[in-house]
Amino acid sequence: MVETPFFLGITWVTVICLVILLVLLLFSALASASETAFFSLLPNDINEMENSDRRSDKLALELRNKPKAFLATILITNNLVNVTITIFSTYIMARMFNLAANPIWAFIINVVVVTSLLLIFGEMIPKITAAKRARALATALAPTISVLVVIFRPLSNLLIKSTAVIDNKLAKRNANTLSISDLTTAVDITTAEETPSEERSMLQGIATFGEKEVSDIMQPRVQLFAVKVTTKFDHLLEMIIENGFSRIPVYEDTLDEIKGILYVKDLLPHLEEPDFQWQGLLRPAFFVPENKKINDLFQDFRAKKIHIAIVVDEYGGTSGLVTMEDVLEEIVGDISDEFDVVAENRNYKKIDDKTYIFQAQTSLVDFCKVFGINELYFEDIKGESDTLAGLILEKEGRIPQAGFSTSYKEFVFKIIKADKRRIIEIKVVYNEKTDE
């Protein structure tokens, strides 16, 4: 008996089938690419297409505005093509190889090789390319897909109706459950690689705006500039000039007894009066709790036409101060003016590209902004702390003395000034990771 060889050779029929297989693989790639391209269009692309007179742009927008019919057509097309590819590949392999003699090779060729080709050339590469050239592919493929929508309309309508019940149930269950992480992820997906970091940060600030509380952005009590109600007018003017604030809290005996807010502009008509009783110019203070959401605070600021609020804890004691500028900076980033150089030097001092000296009461939000890192960077160890000093206290469980060092990820913290009750100054060394 003559043994049949494993490789049976290539015939004209096999060559024709291989060509058909390559064409089908191209169709699979185009179907996958079209799905990604249509839903990767940026707002600028859509605006330009709406103002365009090209028929392909109009067709692309029409298809995008009917996502269920579009996706059903793509799904049907892709599955029909992929099933046909599987049938042709099995037929070609059977004509080229003696698969019955070696079932292991039959499995490798029919399953591993064909599946890999479909994943790489029919899914991955087309979708990566489509994400980068979304508009060009969407407009190029729109006429073809419009024809397919008409051809497969009976099947696609059946598919849409069959999933309507499940779709409605899921819609009710998932109503109003969009999380902040979903919004942040959406920002990352929908912004292009070339989008400036400032714009990306602004979008992320908008996405997380509603979740942040006043305690996350306030100026803490220990950094609060306020004046005593019994302060003499001439001394008051010196303090205002030295500190440069336009709205100043005024207290009676302690910071827990805020009497009102002094607007510096109200003093201008009385600068030539040496013994002026400035206490009569105080305006009512607006008090807010630490856990108030900053989007609610923003609405209160707008409604009351004020720009400053005193933050109080659960016992009514003063925790800090928050301004309209603090709220807006959560969206647009730092807002600098002529006084911010002084404020910046008060919070930290840059020694070199890796070394900084920070005031211990610097908020973690401001600290993360200095280094351009995510505000959740210290989430694992910060506990309830909001400041750099609080972070170290949470990590160590005690008040460390001057000279003590500790580290976390890329940061090394060294206490350079402290007393028995608190940490005052911290040296920070940042060893940023770099790709080798």
35 versus 185: the higher-pLDDT residue is: 35
Average pLDDT over residues 7-22: 80
Q: Is the pLDDT score of 143 beyond 80?
A: yes
DSSP 227-267: EETT--HHHHHHHHHHH--SEEEEESSSTTSEEEEEEGGGG
The β-bridge relationship of strands 247-251 and 258-263 is antiparallel
Share of the chain above pLDDT 70, in %: 80
Q: Which range among 272-281, 325-334, 421-430 shows the weakest confidence by mean pLDDT? A: 325-334
Q: Is the pLDDT score of 3 beyond 70?
A: no
Domain 214-332, CATH 3.30.420.240 — does that match? no
Q: Is the pLDDT score of 44 beyond 60?
A: yes
Domain 341-430, CATH 3.30.465.10 — does that match? yes
Among 363, 365, 361, 356, CA closest to 412: 356
406 strand-pairing partners? 413
In the chain, CATH 3.30.465.10 sits at 341-430
Token readout for 154 is 């009976």
Q: Is the pLDDT score of 249 beyond 90?
A: yes
- Owner of token pair 């698969």: 99
Q: Is the pLDDT score of 83 beyond 90?
A: no
pLDDT digits (tens, 9 = 90+) for 363-383: 887 788 888 787 778 888 877
Predicted pLDDT of residue 346:
53
Amino acid letter, 210: G
- In Å, what is the CA distance from 49 to each residue of 61, 189, 235? 8, 21, 64
- In Å, what is the CA distance from 77 to each residue of 67, 112, 151, 290, 397? 15, 23, 10, 56, 62
Average pLDDT over residues 398-425: 86
DSSP 359-403: ETT-BHHHHHHHHT--TTTTHHHHTT--BHHHHHHHHHSS-PPTT
Cα separation of 88 and 110, whole Å?
Answer: 10
Mean pLDDT of the chain: 80
Q: How many CB atoms lie within 10 A of CB 297?
A: 23
In the chain, CATH 3.10.580.10 sits at 214-332
pLDDT digits (tens, 9 = 90+) for 282-304: 999 999 998 888 888 888 888 88
Cα separation of 92 and 86, whole Å?
Answer: 10
pLDDT digits (tens, 9 = 90+) for 201-243: 655 555 555 667 888 788 888 778 899 999 998 899 989 888 8
Cα separation of 325 and 346, whole Å?
Answer: 18
pLDDT digits (tens, 9 = 90+) for 265-286: 998 888 888 788 888 899 999 9
Q: Say whether 427 sits in a helix, a strand or coil.
A: strand
Residue 260 banded pLDDT, cuts 50, 70, 90: very high
Q: Is the pLDDT score of 420 beyond 90?
A: no
Q: How many residues does the chain have?
A: 436
